Amino acid sequence: MTSETIATDQDAIIVGAGLGGLRTMIELRKLGISFRCFEAGDGIGGTWFWNRYPGARTDSESWTYCYQFDRELFEEWDWHDRFPGQVEVENYLNFVADRFDLRKDIQLGATVKGATFDEDSSTWTVTLEDGTTSTSRYFIVAGGPLAARYTPDLKGIDDFGGTWVHTSRWPEGGIDVRGKRVGIVGTGATGVQLIPELAKEAANVTVFQRTPNYVIPARNHPLSDTDRRSLKADADRISNVVREHWFGMDLGMAGRLTTDVTPEEQQKILEWGWEIGGFHFIFETFDDIFLTHEANEVVAEFVRNKIRQIVKDPETAEKLAPKGYPIASKRVPLGHYYYEAYNRPNVDLVDVSENALAEATSSGITLADGTHYDVDILVFATGFDASTGSITRMDIRGRDGLTIQESWAEGAQTHLGVATKGFPNLFMVFGPQTPFANFPPVAENIVEFLSQALTHLEESGAATMEATQEAMDEWAEHLDVLLNALVLSEGERVRSWFVGANIPGKPHKVLFHFGGVAAYCASTQAVIDEGWKGFVFEGSSAKKDAVPA
Ligand code: NAP
């Protein structure tokens, strides 16, 4: 920035020092754009700072759950596990912050309360919870798609006599569950990781399950020195494949459909995927899993049969076996001996699908039919107001005082998931309507697009960049088409966060781009190639009293 541009405290304010925020900071440094990052947590890492519940780890293989833009960075870091645990990822992100000297521009423990756009100066004023304010030209929200926690509004929770916690606020020192009766609400990816871990120590674990998930085995293991050496030698291939693969992982196509092989061969192939672990089971067995109900049902039934084989009590197995909805229309969790945990004498499964949680009492939980369960510790693994929550929980005001809540009253609307009309120079990293895929390659794609957008803004001398309504409508239509082509579109019926259906009262709208990382990247490139189609650039960034050169 030159001294002739409008004076602000810094060029950009970034919200969030997690995976997306850190990558944004590295990019802005390269561009010479000054910034300040406000991070609510007392440490760096975003999701990986907050989600420290026992068992928390990635569902992505470590060599893909990292930045790919810098070959040296990729080679410098040694991953310990195939699927790294929370501490490992938190350490990695702290390593990145130090390596790129980012800490000096990050303010920890700083929660952004709101941000207001001033039309005269085309600047943003950001207000923190403690009342302090700061100004910038660019307001970049990198709060994370799964940051705003959701806890059901359970009657009587304030009267509960034990300890209750949401998994994303697990205390740093842990919770001592030894000898305690623990109740867990929720069997999404978080509950699936947590349940086997707590079962090892608690006197008793009662799982309150509303919808069973299709859980596939992770098969985590430590990486050897040889593994690490060969992964580093393979860095170029990995970097290319995560940008090309639909889900942004080190995976290939199966190259076959369920209809290409006999039922016996189908079972053999699925068995291979089950044994190798991770998302290979979904992406490298049959290419029609997401495309036809028949193919999806072959895979779904295979998982149900696995549950029936693993879980010794047939009644419990049937309760755990998902029925009536396609595999992957809710995000498939990876399990670490999840189904095996139900063979322990201290784990009980309670089906609350038709007998809902009614209230918390001083001693535990009561269901709608009056059945009561005594618990000492109550854990809500109940997920997040995904995608939009980290943005709408702030008081963001754009042109004419329009709030983000008003603008998105009928569902989020964006162009490319990066910008939204009425909020000039507000950019989102992982905003709604960005790809549903492994987070790091998605973040890298978005930040690379943002980098080009900011370069264009700076070079053009325009004051603001803003999405048009037409572009947002087209993007929403495009996203509908992408999701409706897949069997995953049934997510609305099964309360999937893909479409906002997990939060009571939230408008149902497609919140993710289901076309894959490479297709999203092609869309962003097309926008650039077509002269920033769908964006308007207005005003002049020059100071009104600047002396012309
Ligand atoms: P989630 O998938 O939204 O699951 C929330 C669970 O809480 C569901 O089982 C839901 O039941 C249940 N629930 C919510 N309200 C309830 C109520 N009133 N009564 C009974 N049950 C209720 O949340 P999550 O497990 O935290 O996972 C969210 C996402 O975070 C994941 O899909 C994943 O993308 C990410 N994550 C990733 C990892 C990883 O990569 N390893 C780990 C954890 C989380 P219904 O299904 O019936 O609504």
Tell me the pLDDT tens digit for each residue of 457-497. 999 999 999 999 999 999 999 999 999 999 988 877 789 99
CB neighbours (10 Å) of residue 105? 18
Sequence-ordered list of residues with C-beta below 8 angstroms from that of 224, at least 6 positions apart, any chain? none
Sequence-ordered list of residues with C-beta below 8 angstroms from that of 301, at least 6 positions apart, any chain? none
User: Which atom of ligand 1 is nearest the CA belonging to 51?
Assistant: 43
Query: Which of 298, 308, 307 is CA-nearest to residue 270?
Result: 298
* Per-residue pLDDT reduced to its tens digit, 280-315: 999 999 999 999 999 999 999 999 999 999 999 999
421 CA → ligand 1 middle, Å? 31
User: Which residue CA neighbors atom 18 of ligand 1 most closely?
Assistant: 152
429 CA → ligand 1 middle, Å? 22
447 CA → ligand 1 middle, Å? 27
User: Which atom of ligand 1 is nearest the CA belonging to 380?
Assistant: 7
190 CA → ligand 1 middle, Å? 6
CB–CB of 421/466 below 8 Å? yes
The full DSSP string for 218-234 is ----BPPHHHHHHHHHT
Query: Which of 38, 31, 32 is CA-nearest to residue 13?
Result: 38
Query: Which residue among 59, 167, 210, 490 has the greatest number of ligand 1 atoms within 8 angstroms of its CB, and so is best to mutate?
Result: 210
User: Which residue CA neighbors atom 24 of ligand 1 most closely?
Assistant: 383
Query: Which of 368, 413, 369, 373 is CA-nearest to residue 391?
Result: 413
Query: Which of 383, 390, 359 is CA-nearest to residue 38?
Result: 390
CA distance 459 to 541: 10
189 CA → ligand 1 middle, Å? 6
Q: What is the mean pLDDT of the chain?
A: 96
* Mean predicted confidence (pLDDT) in 199-228: 98
Look at phi and psi of residue 307 and say left if phi exceeds 0, alpha if psi is from -120 to 50, else beta: alpha
Look at phi and psi of residue 190 and say left if phi exceeds 0, alpha if psi is from -120 to 50, else beta: alpha
34 CA → ligand 1 middle, Å? 38
User: Which residue CA neighbors atom 34 of ligand 1 most closely?
Assistant: 331
User: Which residue CA neighbors atom 25 of ligand 1 most closely?
Assistant: 188
User: Which residue CA neighbors atom 26 of ligand 1 most closely?
Assistant: 383
What are the structural domains, with CATH classification, of the chain? 10-148+386-538 (3.50.50.60), 151-214+328-383 (3.50.50.60), 251-317 (no CATH)
Query: Which residue among 58, 167, 190, 215 has the greatest number of ligand 1 atoms within 8 angstroms of its CB, and so is best to mutate?
Result: 190
CA distance 274 to 282: 9
Give the pLDDT score at 5.
60
CA distance 218 to 63: 15
Judged against a pLDDT cut of 50, whether residue 3 lies above it is answered with: no
495 CA → ligand 1 middle, Å? 10
Query: How do strand 216-217 and strand 163-166 relate by DSSP bridges?
Result: unpaired
CB–CB of 13/426 below 8 Å? no
Query: Which of 187, 249, 245 is CA-nearest to residue 63?
Result: 249
Give the pLDDT score at 533.
98
User: Which residue CA neighbors atom 4 of ligand 1 most closely?
Assistant: 188
User: Which residue CA neighbors atom 22 of ligand 1 most closely?
Assistant: 186
Judged against a pLDDT cut of 80, whether residue 355 lies above it is answered with: yes
Residues with CB under 6 A from ligand 1: 57-59, 146, 152, 185-191, 193, 208, 210-211, 331, 352, 357, 381-384, 495, 497, 502
User: Which atom of ligand 1 is nearest the CA belonging to 352?
Assistant: 20
Coil, strand or helix at 260: helix
Give the pLDDT score at 400.
96
Query: Which of 73, 65, 55, 83 is CA-nearest to residue 18?
Result: 65
383 CA → ligand 1 middle, Å? 4
User: Which residue CA neighbors atom 31 of ligand 1 most closely?
Assistant: 189
CB–CB of 202/54 below 8 Å? no
Give the pLDDT score at 453.
98
174 CA → ligand 1 middle, Å? 21
526 CA → ligand 1 middle, Å? 35
380 CA → ligand 1 middle, Å? 9
Judged against a pLDDT cut of 50, whether residue 529 lies above it is answered with: yes
Judged against a pLDDT cut of 60, whether residue 531 lies above it is answered with: yes
Place of tokens 């009262």: 505
User: Which residue CA neighbors atom 23 of ligand 1 most closely?
Assistant: 383
User: Which residue CA neighbors atom 12 of ligand 1 most closely?
Assistant: 186
146 CA → ligand 1 middle, Å? 10
Judged against a pLDDT cut of 70, whether residue 546 lies above it is answered with: no
User: Which atom of ligand 1 is nearest the CA belonging to 167?
Assistant: 26
pTM over 0.85: yes
Contacts from 71-78 at CB under 8 Å and sequence distance 24+? 71/235, 71/236, 71/239, 73/99, 74/232, 74/235, 74/239, 75/232, 75/235, 78/228
User: Which atom of ligand 1 is nearest the CA belonging to 192?
Assistant: 25
Judged against a pLDDT cut of 50, whether residue 54 lies above it is answered with: yes
Judged against a pLDDT cut of 70, whether residue 545 lies above it is answered with: no
**Which of 2-11, 43-52, 297-306, 315-324 shows the lowest mean pLDDT across its residues?**
2-11
Give the pLDDT score at 428.
98
Give the pLDDT score at 543.
54
177 CA → ligand 1 middle, Å? 21
Give the pLDDT score at 547.
40
CA distance 230 to 404: 47
Query: Which of 287, 184, 234 is CA-nearest to residue 61?
Result: 234
210 CA → ligand 1 middle, Å? 11
Query: Which residue among 502, 508, 512 has the greatest number of ligand 1 atoms within 8 angstroms of its CB, and so is best to mutate?
Result: 502
Sequence-ordered list of residues with C-beta below 8 angstroms from that of 378, at least 6 positions apart, any chain? 160, 162, 163, 164, 165, 182, 183, 185, 360, 364, 365
351 CA → ligand 1 middle, Å? 16
